Amino acid sequence: MPQSTPLFSAESYFSTQLPPSSLEHDIAGVKEFVRRQKEERRTVVLVTSGGTTVPLELNVVRFLDNFSAGTRGATSAEYFLKAGYAVIFMHRQFSLQPFSRHYSHSTNPFLDFLEIERGTDQLSPVASDSSPESSRICVTPSKRKHLLEILTAYKAVYAAGTLHTLTFVTVNDYLWLLRAVSQELSVLRRKAMYYLAAAVSDFFLPRQKMSEHKIQSGKGSLHIEMDQVPKILKPMVDDWTGKDGFIVSFKLETDPALLVPKAQTSLQRYGHQVVIGNDLNRRKFEVVFISRKEALTFASEGTSVESTPPYAEFWLKIDPHDPSKEIEEDIVAELVKRHEVWIAGAEAPIN
């Protein structure tokens, strides 16, 4: 089909689409967070998580959504915190978050494991006293150990001030935030990692083409021509992070045969450090790391195979039947090792 409008470059995108109204406020918070982590000499990771939406109207009633519950991002953020990183967690509003993800309202609602212990009414000892003052809320004994572990880690992270949370909804929010956060984080040079697990829309409607009001259904079928979302990994690598950031992107495919070639193409095109390929149906127990061979200077545990030069292909697999194991633990451990090598390879010392 002929292209009716020229492709958006990242530059033309940002000069024609408006920033979200909260951007300035959000970035002031990020600046302060990064300043503090730099002072405390921590490594910082930006984790993006959840799917972006594409609104079809300015007064939005309808939108297209991208698949992602935010499990990968929220789980990985927890393991990065455990590994001593400070985390900027940029996620789709209402998607899963570190720590609270264990008590998702649909799979493990917290009200189901709270119990009420009522006091006894002094005037009438047989009747139980239901006043808030004499009632206690307790956790079901079988759930206490797990909750205590999560709560302890959560409180420690908040006391240390190592988690900063940002939200996006639309692909426009995401792109503006990603650029601004990356630029702020670039002051940490090689000590910053960018872990792009969000599922980002490939097509969008520029605001100039959007209907102001709700699209009416009386005219029969709906035809919308969308523009391509600019590929932002290239400017992110070259400009926003000054080629210093350790950038990890994800590639989601449904055809297993496409996973490795598509991940290699992405690496070749954008020149970042790692692409993690995941198959939609196997992503919870199997992923593949694709990186340039010369960048892999140590032997990792697992199966490392030489793929078409100059790429290395490294598969991480866990037992799909073991519910106590999360693949993100191994993904993060592997990335932490590679990031250390990246930091050590800096030409000038990093503070």
Least gap, CB of 129 to ligand PMT (angstroms): 46
Between 13 and 33, whose beta carbon lies closer to ligand PMT?
A: 13
For residue 271, what are its two tokens? 């020149």
Of residues 181 and 233, the one with the C-beta less far from ligand PMT: 233
Q: How near is the Cβ of 147 to ligand PMT at its closest, in Å?
A: 23
- CA diameter of the chain: 84
Nearer to ligand PMT, 172 or 278 (CB): 278
The distance of closest approach from Cβ of residue 84 to ligand PMT in the complex, given in angstroms and rounded to an integer, is 23
Alpha helix ranges (H) inside the chain:
10-16, 23-39, 71-82, 141-160, 171-185, 233-235, 256-270, 327-344
Amino acid identity of residue 129, one-letter, is D
Q: Which is nearer to ligand PMT, 37 or 277 (CB)?
A: 277
Residues interacting with ligand PMT, by CB under 6 A?
Answer: 48, 68-72, 196-200, 229, 231-233, 249-252, 278, 283
Residue closer to ligand PMT (CB basis): 42 or 174: 174
Minimum CB separation from ligand PMT for residue 70, in Å? 5
State the nearest-atom distance from the C-beta of 91 to ligand PMT, in Å: 9
Select 163 or 199, whichever has its Cβ closest to ligand PMT. 199
* Residues 243-280: b if buried by 16+ CB within 10 A, e if exposed: ebbbbbbbbbbeeeeebbebbbebbeebebbbbbbbbe
Which CB sits closer to ligand PMT, 86 or 175?
175
What minimum distance in Å lies between the beta carbon of 24 and ligand PMT?
22
Q: How far, rounded to the nearest angstrom, does the alpha carbon of residue 202 sit from its chain's CA centroid?
A: 17
Within 161-251, residue ranges assigned H as helices are 171-185, 233-235
Q: How far is the CB of 17 from ligand PMT (least distance, A)?
A: 13
Q: Is 300 exposed, middle or buried (0-12, 13-18, 19+ CB in 10 A)?
A: middle
Per-residue CA distances from 80 to 219, 284, 349 (Å): 51, 18, 23
